Amino acid sequence: MRTTTGKRLRDTLLISSLMASALMMTGPGHADDAKPTRVRGAITAIEGDSLKVHSNRGEDLQVNLTPNTQVRGVTLAQVSEIKPGSYVGSAAIPQADGTLKALEVHVFPPEMAGTGDGHRAFDLGKDSTMTNGSVGDLVTSNGRTITVNYKGGQKKIVVPDDVPIVNLVPGDRSLLKPGVKVVLQAQPGADGALTALSISAGENGVTPPM
């Protein structure tokens, strides 16, 4: 009886120890595993490899730069610059007829074709989506509608006259100056610090609309 009781006690202690170890390993997640976050705002200062950004949400953030941080410029574009075969991205909201109504359109340079290919949820507005793909049909008379083809699907996007259209162009850190409007993807670190993965910086006063 004592042997059985002792064995049960040992088993209970072993199970408790294993559970405690498992909790330690699966407890509070490491911040390094957090998903990248999108920040929209304006640069207020730059010091070496660090940006200070005042976000559209009213936050004052510090964002670290690395040699791998991708920087691109954002310039104004015209609908005439979108042609069949152009690779574009568009934040949009769904319409009752199954089409999408663009909130913005950005045109990628040829060397960036394939970037973010697909259709997914986005955070520019309620129920907004992001569609990246190649332009098929383009109708500019009686309204502006583009057909965007991506791997595994296709979307028709209506582009209202007042919707901003921009070009994404190759850039470097020389674009990062106080007052410049940016949209950046940042990775939260274990200490809560943000590290920029990519930055889209408006040129000549342009506000990136993405």
- In the prediction, which pLDDT does 27 show? 39
**Per DSSP, what are the bridge partners of residue 137?**
none
Q: Any idea where the domains of the chain sit in the sequence?
A: 31-73+168-202, 79-164
Residues in the chain with pLDDT < 50? Answer: 1-32
- In the prediction, which pLDDT does 191 show? 87
Start-to-end Cα distance in the chain: 72
Second-level CATH architecture of 31-73+168-202: Beta Barrel (2.40)
- In the prediction, which pLDDT does 1 show? 46
What pTM value is reported for the model?
A: 0.80
Contacts for 139-147: CB closer than 8 Å, 24+ residues apart: 140/79, 144/79, 145/99, 146/82, 146/88, 146/90, 146/105
Cα(89)–Cα(100) distance, rounded to whole angstroms? Answer: 12
- In the prediction, which pLDDT does 190 show? 87
Please state, in angstroms and as integers, the Cα–Cα distance from residue 114 to each residue in 79, 124, 146, 167, following that order.
Answer: 20, 21, 17, 15
Q: Specify whether the CB–CB gap between 209 and 186 falls below 8 A.
A: no
For strand 100-107 and strand 153-158, is the pairing parallel, antiparallel, or unpaired?
parallel
- In the prediction, which pLDDT does 138 show? 81
- In the prediction, which pLDDT does 33 show? 61
- In the prediction, which pLDDT does 2 show? 45
Torsion-angle region of 18 (φ positive above 0: left; ψ -120 to 50: alpha; else: beta): alpha
- In the prediction, which pLDDT does 141 show? 62
The DSSP symbol for 202 reads E
Q: Specify whether the CB–CB gap between 183 and 171 falls below 8 A.
A: no
Cα(7)–Cα(11) distance, rounded to whole angstroms? Answer: 6
| Pick from 174, 210, 205: nearest CA to 75 | 205
Mean pLDDT of the chain: 86
Q: Specify whether the CB–CB gap between 93 and 103 falls below 8 A.
A: yes
Tokens encoding 75:
């310039």
